């Protein structure tokens, strides 16, 4: 550490996110997008770039891309086409990647999300559809190539450099992932390579002495960080990179805008390592892809996507807080996936009581999520149970300890369990009888209570609750016991 | 009956269906001709007797099973060596693919087989289609059947020569800037480049994707119509193919040209009539301020234009007279921007070629030359695998798309193409067909242009405009010059109007006669 105090600075981060679209086939051929039987089993003349083979755009990939662009609030291109991006690499079958350069499907979008300490916005520069490349697998002796990923449909989302903290980077990535899953365009599992992100990081440092540019803020060279395999790693890499750029600034004191660099995140070393310096932008010699016609139907598809789009997670979260009065953490939890959120709404409808239902779901999340997947019980089942509890017809403790676990384990209907176990609330006469019997059985405690220590009566309340197996209302039992023993409530 | 090889394709199909002769008989007859004559012609680069006979036997088998045979029953059709046929070498005339065997069938091969045609070997071509003489084949040149010292044209020279010499009744070619029409003219056969998208390109190895068209050769217009109909139709696996049902153009061949409005291209648009070459100044107003002059090479292309030879101009005049006689309305026509087409064509084609050929790095298939690492190996592979003309075009195309030059080169070439499309659209408001020579000259001598690329490119000056606009165009045999070399007349129509081309072709075939097989190839086959 140097003794120099850190200068005033701000962190500037933009994201490039690649997400594998949930299509059955690859982007430009009929090969399966997943599954397969070993390396190079999911290949054909098109995705291997064999002579004479031609790409044909997957309609599903186009649909999903437009859906994503709409959900990200983008302007949709009237004319959208593909471009060939040329570079030479052994796992790039055609010597070019089919991507979108000049006419991305969506531009000028906006994503709202909950940042580290409040609501945030990030502008979306562009959303486009492109193909993945193959994979090079290096070992000591040789490099092997697998083309199963080559031609898989990827959505690329590029944000403006609007993020200012690593916590916001993390929150933004979580929000993008949640949105992509929510609208069904990607499974976005980073550990399965279905989502990749490359943050572009630099600092703007307050530098009053910079007479050269006349600007009070001097940018450090932008570093693009690759090899990130989790959202946590992305946040850590940003933290590391901020510290590194700051240290470099402190050491040299003069670094200004320089060449962009590419740095790789090393998970084992927990640091970024220099991969290459881009002295000038690589010349990709973009050529409009002559094998694919210009697409003019994106606005129509967008119209359909808008009509079919369900409420998006951020809006839904807001509504849960503002209209349903749910606590923010509960609203967060319930809007993690569209399936859970929709399930909650159905349950809340059946119970006619959103807040208790929300509490029940969040309090038993693992059970509920398993129930959704395995269809053990329905949202309506849970809603009706919660309603019965809220109306005092089913004991709360029994519902939590006995009924819900059995519903989740066996799929038994809750009414059945209640009937079988005799779990309906005890009626007044039964409660009164139980109270009398308990009081009669403990003259010693009665005496102690009457002698000025009424708190011992709680033992009797507990006994009554046990005797009724929780089927009585504890407050009512307490009143009855006190009335009987002390002659007052 | 005439010998089998002198029968037209449709006559052969009738004979096979009527069991007059078998598909095997037909194939044997043509195989014998190839064996006898292809030593000097060198039209074929691959022809396997056994496999070809097996295909013919399958046709006979289907007939024996009582099945209805298709329109090309038992007709041998040769394929230019840039069409993929499963299990066969597909070299594209290149060392790069000398040992590559296609693992799948081109769409047109599937259609030929479905029509009961017999795929009949692979024909020679300029490497990846880049050339106008078939001299840029890595496997040596094909010769012109009318004069063995001359080129057959190119790049589909093998197919054109094979059809002209009667070694096969029909053949496929591909036409990017004139690669079917120009060799058809040089060899004296019919050759058509249909509307862009009419025939699927799937399985045609790409040269310049926005210009490449599957084309066809025949010695009779009605045979060509029958073949094109078999080849045409939408293909779900070629996104640029057009899904209109193809009409039956065979009816158009005898339909005549009464009331057809034909514009004859003003020769001043492309060069002057004369016998000297290389000094023509186009004088066309459209040259100034457009794409010519963008690069020195483009300006030089203009300077190195061929003059239209007198014999060719005379053939055009004779065609004009014949068509007038047949009831068509003839008038002079100009095509603004035509003089810029050649330069624009070369920039666009080279840019797309550089892109399409980027995949040949020796990593996944094809020839591989070793190197100390993958990058060096790829460089060595491309240096040794590609011939000089292909390398020249890759350099030009890479430059045309490079940062800083892209707008001035590729961008302006595309703008020229757009203007040309507009010019054609306006022209076709007033005429139905544009008539011109196919080439300014007849076949040139072997070895005279390979060292002068711009002179080689000049052979395509009249064919590139229709290529840039994707318009259907046909080369029609229209007699011979004093040296006995064939002359071709080109007809161009609006997109989708191949019917008009076949009507003009039919009328001129009746006027000039069906092209004969050149003398050296007409002796009867022994046995």
Res A277 pLDDT > 90:
no
pLDDT digits (tens, 9 = 90+) for B309-318: 999 999 999 9
Enter the DSSP assignment of A198: E
Together in a domain, A215 and A117: yes
CB B517 within 8 A of CB B265: no
> Contacts of residue A82 in chain B, CB cutoff 8 Å?
none
B238 → closest Cβ in A54, A143, A283: A54
A-to-B residue pairs, Cβ atoms closer than 8 angstroms: 103
Q: What DSSP assignment string belongs to B118-165? A: EEEEEE--SGGG--SSSTT-TT----BTTBTTB---SSSHHHHHHHHT
Domain count, chain A: 3
Together in a domain, A131 and A261: yes
| Helix, strand, coil percent values for chain A (each to nearest 5) | 40, 20, 40
pLDDT, position A216: 78
User: Alpha helix (H) ranges present in B270-337?
Assistant: 296-303, 310-325
3-state secondary structure (DSSP) of residue A70: helix
pLDDT band for position A476 (cuts 50, 70, 90):
confident
**Edge-to-edge order in the sheet of strand A287-288:** A96-99, A83-86, A287-288
Is residue A196 assigned to a domain? Answer: yes
Burial of A254 (0-12, 13-18, 19+ CB in 10 A): exposed
Instruction: List Cα–Cα distances, A190 to A17, A19, A186, in angstroms.
Output: 11, 9, 11
Structure tokens at A96: 């070019």
Is residue A305 assigned to a domain? Answer: no
Share of chain B above pLDDT 90, in %: 86
Hey, is the C-beta of B196 within 8 angstroms of any chain A C-beta? no
pLDDT, position A86: 97
Together in a domain, A361 and A395: yes
**Domain range summary for chain B, segments of one domain joined by +:** 4-256, 261-286+294-337+420-512
Enter the DSSP assignment of B214: E
Mean pLDDT of chain A: 91
Name which of A360, A454, A375 is nearest A408 in CA terms.
A375
Structure tokens at B350: 């080279």
Together in a domain, A160 and A81: yes
pLDDT digits (tens, 9 = 90+) for B306-344: 788 999 999 999 999 999 999 999 999 999 888 899 999
Instruction: List Cα–Cα distances, A317 to A113, A173, A175, A327, A350, in angstroms.
Output: 10, 17, 12, 10, 20
Together in a domain, A90 and A199: yes
Sign of the dihedral defined by the CA atoms of residues B353, B358, B360, B364, in that order: negative
Together in a domain, A462 and A390: no
How far apart CA A182 and CA A177 sit, in angstroms, is 8
pLDDT, position A30: 97
pLDDT band for position B303 (cuts 50, 70, 90):
low
Name which of B89, B163, B91, B169 is nearest B124 in CA terms.
B91
Is residue A4 assigned to a domain? Answer: no
CB B450 within 8 A of CB B136: yes
Same-fold call for B4-256 versus B261-286+294-337+420-512: yes
| Residue where one domain finishes, among candidates A382, A399, A421 | A421
Segment A168-191 shows an average pLDDT of: 96
Alpha carbons within 13 A on the beta-carbon side of B516: 12
Share of chain B above pLDDT 70, in %: 92
pLDDT band for position B39 (cuts 50, 70, 90):
very high
Angle at CA of residue B186, ends B111 and B133, nearest 5°: 85
Is residue A2 assigned to a domain? Answer: no
How far apart CA A135 and CA A227 sit, in angstroms, is 14
Is residue A348 assigned to a domain? Answer: yes
Hey, is the C-beta of B18 within 8 angstroms of any chain A C-beta? no
Instruction: List Cα–Cα distances, B212 to A298, B158, B169, B179, B204, in angstroms.
Output: 28, 18, 23, 9, 9
pLDDT band for position B459 (cuts 50, 70, 90):
confident
pLDDT digits (tens, 9 = 90+) for A318-357: 999 999 999 999 999 999 999 999 999 999 999 988 999 9
pLDDT digits (tens, 9 = 90+) for A213-259: 566 788 889 999 999 999 999 999 999 999 999 998 888 766 666 78
How far apart CA A424 and CA A435 sit, in angstroms, is 18
Together in a domain, A151 and A263: yes
Structure tokens at A210: 């910079």
> Contacts of residue B205 in chain A, CB cutoff 8 Å?
51-52
How far apart CA A305 and CA B120 sit, in angstroms, is 51
Contact (CB<8Å) B206/A51: yes
B355 → closest Cβ in A84, A143, A293: A84
Q: Which residues pair with A98 in a beta bridge?
A: A84
Return residues 355-374 of B near A (CB < 8 Å).
355, 357-361, 363-365, 374
Return residues 377-436 of B near A (CB < 8 Å).
378, 398, 401-403, 406, 410
CB B109 within 8 A of CB B85: yes
Name which of B194, B192, B199 is nearest B235 in CA terms.
B199
Segment A134-145 shows an average pLDDT of: 90
Is residue A3 assigned to a domain? Answer: no
Catalytic-residue membership of B155: yes
E-state strands within A243-304:
260-266, 271-278, 287-288
User: Alpha helix (H) ranges present in A183-312?
Assistant: 231-252, 298-308
Segment B74-97 shows an average pLDDT of: 98
Structure tokens at A4: 């120099």
Res A209 pLDDT > 70:
no
Report the top-level CATH class of B261-286+294-337+420-512: alpha beta
pLDDT band for position A467 (cuts 50, 70, 90):
confident
What is the distance of C-alpha A338 from the center of its chain? Answer: 10
Contact (CB<8Å) B206/A143: no
Structure tokens at B304: 């190195």
Name which of B368, B388, B396 is nearest B208 in CA terms.
B396
Res A487 pLDDT > 90:
no
| Residue ranges making up the domain that contains A343 | 310-421
E-state strands within A28-79:
75-76
CB A145 within 8 A of CB A115: no
Q: Which of the residue ranges A403-407, B276-280, B293-297 has the most confident prediction, judged by mean pLDDT?
A: A403-407
Give the ipTM of the model, two decimals please. Answer: 0.92
Alpha carbons within 13 A on the beta-carbon side of B484: 12
CB B202 within 8 A of CB A44: no
Burial of B456 (0-12, 13-18, 19+ CB in 10 A): buried
Catalytic-residue membership of B80: yes
Q: What DSSP assignment string belongs to B446-506? A: TTSSTT-HHHHHHTTTTTHHHHHHT--EEEEEEEE-TTS-EEEEEEEESTT-HHHHHHHHH
Together in a domain, A400 and A434: no
pLDDT digits (tens, 9 = 90+) for B242-293: 998 999 999 999 999 999 999 999 866 555 444 333 333 333 333 333 333 2
Res A206 pLDDT > 90:
no
Measure B359 CA to nearest chain A CA, in Å.
4
Hey, is the C-beta of A489 within 8 angstroms of any chain B C-beta? no
Sign of the dihedral defined by the CA atoms of residues B434, B436, B438, B440, in that order: negative
Q: What DSSP assignment string belongs to B358-404? A: GG-SSSSSS-----SSHHHHHHHHHHHHS-HHHHHHHHHHHHHHSTT
Name which of A367, A388, A389, A378 is nearest A413 in CA terms.
A378
pLDDT band for position A76 (cuts 50, 70, 90):
very high
Is residue A112 assigned to a domain? Answer: yes
Task: List CB contacts of A244: < 8 A, sequence separation 6 or more.
Answer: A271, A272
| Residue where one domain finishes, among candidates A398, A421, A444 | A421
| Residue where one domain finishes, among candidates A421, A438, A460 | A421
B206 → closest Cβ in A48, A52, A56: A52
Is residue A98 assigned to a domain? Answer: yes
Together in a domain, A75 and A120: yes
Question: How, if at all, do strands B190-193 and B261-265 pair?
Answer: unpaired
Cis status of the peptide bond prior to A433, with omega within 30 of 0: no
Measure B79 CA to nearest chain A CA, in Å.
14
The CATH number corresponding to B4-256 among 3.30.43.10, 1.10.10.10, 3.90.950.10, 3.90.1300.10 equals 3.90.1300.10
Segment B157-183 shows an average pLDDT of: 98
């Amino acid at each position: 550490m140097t003794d120099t105090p850190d200068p005033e600075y701000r962190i500037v981060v933009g994201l490039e996110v690649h997400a594998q679209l949930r299509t059955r086939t690859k982007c430009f051929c009929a090969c399966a997008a997943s599954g397969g039987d070993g390396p190079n089993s999911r290949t054909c003349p098109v995705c291997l770039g064999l002579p004479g083979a031609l790409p044909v755009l997957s309609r599903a990939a186009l649909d999903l891309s437009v859906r994503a662009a709409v959900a990200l609030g983008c302007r949709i291109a009237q004319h959208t086409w593909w471009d060939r991006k040329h570079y030479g690499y052994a796992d790039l079958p055609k010597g070019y990647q089919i991507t979108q350069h000049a006419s991305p499907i969506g531009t000028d979008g906006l994503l709202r999300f909950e940042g580290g300490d409040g609501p945030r916005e990030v502008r979306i520069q562009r959303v486009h559809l492109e193909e993945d490349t193959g994979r090079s697998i290096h070992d000591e002796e040789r490099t092997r190539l697998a083309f199963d990923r080559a031609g898989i449909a990827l959505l690329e989302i590029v944000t403006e450099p609007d993020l200012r903290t690593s916590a916001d980077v993390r929150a933004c990535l979580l929000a993008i992932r949640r949105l992509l899953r929510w609208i069904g365009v990607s499974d976005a599992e980073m550990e399965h390579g279905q989502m990749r992100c490359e943050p572009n990081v630099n600092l703007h440092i307050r530098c009053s002495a910079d007479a050269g540019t006349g600007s009070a803020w001097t940018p450090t060279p932008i570093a693009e960080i690759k090899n990130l395999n989790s959202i946590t790693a992305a946040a850590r890499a940003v933290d590391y990179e901020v510290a590194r750029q700051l240290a470099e600034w402190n050491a040299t004191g003069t670094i200004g805008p320089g060449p962009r660099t590419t740095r790789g995140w090393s998970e084992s070393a927990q640091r970024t390592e220099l991969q290459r310096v881009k002295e000038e932008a690589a010349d990709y010699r973009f050529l409009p892809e002559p094998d694919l016609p210009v697409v003019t139907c994106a606005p129509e598809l967008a119209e359909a996507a808008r009509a079919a789009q369900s409420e998006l997670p951020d809006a839904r979260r807001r509504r849960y807080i503002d209209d349903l009065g749910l606590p923010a953490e509960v609203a967060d939890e319930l809007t993690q996936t569209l399936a859970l959120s929709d399930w909650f709404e159905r349950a809340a409808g059946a119970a006619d009581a959103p807040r208790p239902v929300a509490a029940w779901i969040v309090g038993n999340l693992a059970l509920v999520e398993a129930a959704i997947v395995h269809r053990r019980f329905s949202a309506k089942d849970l809603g009706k149970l919660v309603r019965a509890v809220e109306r005092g017809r089913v004991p709360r403790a029994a519902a939590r300890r006995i009924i819900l676990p059995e519903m989740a384990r066996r799929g038994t209907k809750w009414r059945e369990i209640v009937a079988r176990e005799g779990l309906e609330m005890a009626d007044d006469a039964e409660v009164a009888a139980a109270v009398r019997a308990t009081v009669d059985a403990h003259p010693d405690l009665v005496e102690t209570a009457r002698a000025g220590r009424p708190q011992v009566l709680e033992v009797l309340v507990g006994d009554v609750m046990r005797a009724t197996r929780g089927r009585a209302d504890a407050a009512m039992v307490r009143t009855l016991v006190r009335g009987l023993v002390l002659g007052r409530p | 009956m005439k010998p089998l090889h002198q029968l037209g394709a449709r006559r052969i199909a009738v004979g096979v269906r009527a069991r007059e002769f078998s598909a095997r008989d037909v194939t044997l007859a043509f195989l014998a001709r190839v064996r006898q004559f292809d030593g000097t012609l060198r039209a074929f680069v691959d022809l396997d007797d056994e496999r070809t006979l097996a295909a013919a036997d399958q046709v006979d088998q289907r007939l024996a099973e009582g099945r209805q045979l298709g329109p090309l029953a038992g007709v041998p059709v040769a394929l230019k060596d840039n069409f993929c046929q499963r299990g066969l070498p597909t070299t594209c005339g290149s060392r790069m693919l000398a040992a590559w065997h296609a693992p799948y069938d081109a769409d047109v091969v599937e259609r030929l087989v479905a029509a009961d045609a017999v795929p009949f070997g692979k024909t020679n071509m300029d490497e990846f289609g880049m050339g106008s003489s078939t001299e840029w084949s890595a496997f040596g040149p094909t010769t012109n059947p009318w004069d063995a010292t001359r080129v057959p044209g190119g790049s589909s020279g093998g197919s054109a020569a094979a059809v002209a010499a009667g070694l096969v009744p029909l053949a496929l070619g591909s036409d990017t800037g004139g690669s079917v029409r120009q060799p058809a003219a040089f060899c004296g056969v019919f050759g058509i480049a249909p509307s862009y998208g009419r025939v699927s390109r799937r399985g045609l190895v790409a040269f310049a994707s926005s210009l490449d068209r599957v084309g066809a050769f025949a010695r009779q217009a009605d045979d060509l119509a029958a073949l094109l109909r078999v080849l045409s139709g939408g293909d779900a696996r070629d996104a640029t193919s057009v899904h209109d049902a193809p009409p039956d153009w065979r009816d158009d061949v005898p339909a005549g040209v009464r009331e057809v409005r034909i514009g004859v291209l003003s020769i001043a648009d492309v060069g002057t009539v004369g016998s000297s070459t290389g000094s023509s100044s186009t004088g066309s107003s459209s040259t100034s301020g457009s794409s010519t002059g963008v690069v020195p090479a483009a300006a030089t292309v203009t300077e190195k234009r061929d003059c239209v030879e007198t014999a060719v101009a005379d053939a055009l005049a004779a065609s004009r007279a014949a068509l007038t006689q047949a009831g068509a309305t003839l008038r002079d026509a100009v095509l603004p921007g035509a003089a810029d087409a050649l330069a624009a064509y070369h920039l666009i084609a080279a840019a797309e070629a550089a892109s399409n050929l980027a995949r040949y790095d020796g990593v996944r298939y094809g020839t591989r030359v070793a190197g100390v690492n993958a990058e060096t190996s790829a460089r060595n592979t491309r240096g040794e695998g590609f011939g000089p003309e292909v390398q020249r075009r890759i350099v030009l195309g890479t430059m045309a798309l490079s940062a800083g030059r892209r707008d001035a080169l590729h961008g302006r070439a595309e703008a020229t193409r757009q203007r040309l499309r507009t010019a054609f659209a306006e022209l076709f408001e007033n005429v139905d067909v544009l008539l011109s020579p196919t080439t300014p000259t007849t076949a040139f001598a072997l070895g005279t242009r390979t060292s002068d690329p711009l002179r080689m490119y000049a052979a395509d000056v009249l064919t590139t405009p229709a290529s840039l606009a994707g318009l259907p165009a046909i080369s029609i045999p229209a007699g011979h010059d004093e040296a006995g070399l064939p002359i071709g007349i080109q007809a161009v129509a609006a997109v989708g109007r191949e019917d008009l081309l076949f009507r003009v072709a039919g009328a001129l075939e009746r006027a000039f006669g069906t092209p004969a097989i050149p003398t050296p190839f007409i002796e009867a086959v022994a046995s």
